Structure 1
C-alpha cells in the first residue's frame, strides 16, 4: 500500500495551516484530493484528541469568549426546506476562548449560536481550569442564558457591549459587507466582582481575523467553503494545533503552549504528524470512523 512520506505530509499540512484550500494543496503537492482529505481527517482527529488531553488544569487568569460564523454546504438562505433544522448544513458557529495573557486557545466548540451551544462550550472550559478567572464577552445574550452554573459561581464575569448605528451612512454603504461603525461601548458587570476597567474583547476579536487568514474556509467573500461538517471540524482542530503549538506569537515571542507551560519548545509540523496513529488494517465490509467533536 502506498503511503505518503513525512516530507509530503508536512508540505500538505503546512499549506492547509497557512490558509491554503484543499484544491490548491492538491495542485501544488501533486497529490490526489481524496488523499489530502484523508490526511486532513486523520490529523484533525489526532489533534483534537491530543489537545483535549493536554488542555487540563490550566492556570488562566483572564479569558475572553467569542464566536465566528461560517457555513457548511451552502448558505442558510439557500437551504432546502428539509435541511432547514438539520445541524451541519448552513450556518455553523465556532465558539472560542482565548487566554488574554498567554494567547492560548484552551478549547473551542462547533455548534449553533444559541444557549445550548454556549452552555456546552462554557462547561467544557470550566472543566479545564484550576483557578478562578475573570471572564469577558461581548453582549451576546446566550452567555448570560448559559449562566455561571458551569463555574459554580466561581467566576468574575463582565460584558463589553458595543453600540452600533447607521448614522451618516448612505443606503448604498449600508448594503455593503463592511461592518457598522461602533458609536460607543458599555461595560456591564454580570456576576461577582470583575475588574470593570479591564474588560476587553479585543484579543478574541483579533483572533477571529487570524482564523480567517489561516483557514481558507473562513475567509469571507470567496468561493471556498466546507462541504461536509466533519471536514470543517477537522480543519479547525488542525488549525488550533498549529496555532497553539507551532505558531510563534508576536506578543510573548513564543508559542501560546510554551507560554502556558504545556511544552518547552516550538513544535514542527513533523511533530504534529508524529501524533497521528498508524493506519489500521483494512476491515471486511464498510468501515466508518467515529468523528470526535
Structure 2
C-alpha cells in the first residue's frame, strides 16, 4: 500500500470503526483507509437499513413515519430517496426500450407540489415546479409492464414528451393504444407514433355536481364513449381500466399521492424520485397477483424477482 499523498510506503494502523483497515504513511504520517466500494456513494447509512427505509416508503409510509419507525433522520431518508430515484430512472431508461407490445393503455394521475394550483400567490403563478403536477403513464395490458412515464403539467409540451418516451420504449410492430379523452394526445400520437398504432380514446362523460356539494375528487362518471382516432383498433379492447388500476396502486403505495393528507410533496425533485422508484419497483420487484410473477418477468426482461437492494444497485 502506497500513500495517496507522497507515494511512500505505508504500514497498517489499526481499523476504522466500520471495520475497514487503516494505514499510515511512514513519510508524511497521513492516515487513510483501504479502498472499498461505496454502494450508497457518500452516504454512510448501512445497506440493510437503507433497504428497509425504501421498502417502507414503497408500502405507503410517509417520510416522517419512516423516521419515527427507523430512527433515521428525515433528511437522510430524502437523500436516500433522491439517490435511489436517480438510479431507478437510469434503469428504466436502459431496460425499457424497443419492447414488443400488443395493447397499451395510457392515462394521467393528478397530484401537486408544495400547494395546489388554485392556492398559488400572484408571484408564484409563473413557477412551474409549484402547484399541480401530472404523471403520465403507459402500461402494457397483458404483461402489466410500465413502459413509459413523464412528470409535468397537463399541457401539450408534457404530452409530447410522454408520447415520445412511449415511442422509444416500444418496438416497431403495430399495437393498439387507448388513452382517455385528453385532446393533446391526438396530435402527439400522430407525430411520434403515426401508423405504428391503432389509436382510440375512451371519452368519459361526467355527471353534474349536486347543488352545494364540495368535492376533492372528480365528479361521478356517468358514461364512457369509445372514439376511434386512427387505424383499426379492436372495439372490445378499447379500455383504460388497467392503467387506472395502476393509478390506484400509486395512491396506495406512495404517501405523497394519497388524497386529503399533508404528506404531499414539498419539492418537485423528490416527487420525481419517488415516481422513478415506484415504477422500477413495480416492474422488477413486485409480484403481480394476476400474473404470479413481476411484469418484467412476464415480458421476458429478467428471469427472477429482484430485491429492492438489487433494484437500486446496493
TM-score by length of 1: 0.89
For residues 302 and 133 of structure 2, the distance between their equivalents in structure 1, rounded to whole angstroms, comes to 32
Out of 173, 195, 212, the position equivalent to 1:153 is 195
Contact map agreement 1:104 1:244 (CA 8 A) in 2: yes
- Paired with 2:90 and 2:81, the residues of 1 have a C-alpha distance of 14
Q: Write out aligned runs for 1:165-204 (5 A).
A: 165-166=207-208, 170-172=210-212, 174-177=213-216, 179-204=218-243
Superposition map of 1:96-135 within 5 A: 96-130=137-171, 131-135=173-177
- Contact 2:147/2:170 (8 A) holds in 1: no
How do 1:80-99 and structure 2 match up within 5 A? 80-99=121-140
RMSD between aligned alpha carbons? Answer: 1.5
How much has 1:62 moved relative to structure 2?
0.4
**3-state secondary structure, aligned to 2:203:** strand
- What's the counterpart of residue 306 of structure 2? 267
Flag the 1:2–1:56 CA change in 2: closer, same or farther, 3 A. closer
Match among 244, 259, 266 for residue 227 of structure 1: 266
Superposed displacement of residue 254, structure 1 = 0.7
For 1:228 and 1:60, the matched residues in 2 are separated by: 35
1:179 positional shift:
4.0
Name the residue aligned to 1:58.
Answer: 99
- Aligned with residue 17 of structure 1, among 42, 54, 58: 58
Between the aligned partners of 1:123 and 1:196, the Cα distance in structure 2 is: 25
DSSP-derived class of the 2:288 partner: coil
Contact kept in structure 2, 1:137 and 1:160, CA below 8 Å: yes
CA distance in 2 between partners of 1:82 and 1:2 (Å): 37
Determine the structure 2 residue equivalent to 1:136: 178
Query: How far apart, in 2, do the equivalents of 1:128 and 1:270 lie?
Result: 25
Contact 1:148 1:155 in 2 (8 A): no
- Kept in 2: contact 1:116–1:146 (CA 8 A): no
Paired residues, number: 272
Secondary structure (helix, strand or coil) at the match of 1:88 reads coil
Report the counterpart of residue 27 of structure 1 in structure 2.
Answer: 68
CA-to-aligned-CA distance 1:47-98 (integer Å, 9 cap, x gap)? 1001100001201110001001111111111212122122110001000001
Q: Which moved more, 1:105-114 or 1:2-11?
A: 2-11
SS at match of 1:254: coil
Measure, in 1, the Cα distance between the counterparts of 2:58 and 2:43.
Answer: 24
Deviations 1:228-268 (A, max 9, x none): 11111001111111111111111111111111111111111
Matched, 1:212 2:254: no
Question: Which residue pairs with 2:293 in the alignment?
Answer: 254
Q: What are the ranges of 5 or more consecutive residues in structure 1 without an aligned counterpart?
A: 277-293
How much has 1:112 moved relative to structure 2? Answer: 0.6
Q: Is the 8 A contact 1:10 1:269 kept in 2?
A: yes
Q: 5+ residue gaps in structure 2?
A: 1-41
CA deviation string 1:192-232 (max 9, x = no partner): 11112210000011111000011101000111111111111
Name the stretch that deviates more: 76-85 or 216-225. 76-85
Find the aligned partners of 1:177 and 1:81 in 2 and give their Cα distance: 23
CA deviations 1:144-187 (Å, max 9, x no partner) are 13241101322100011121213xx6424x32335433222211
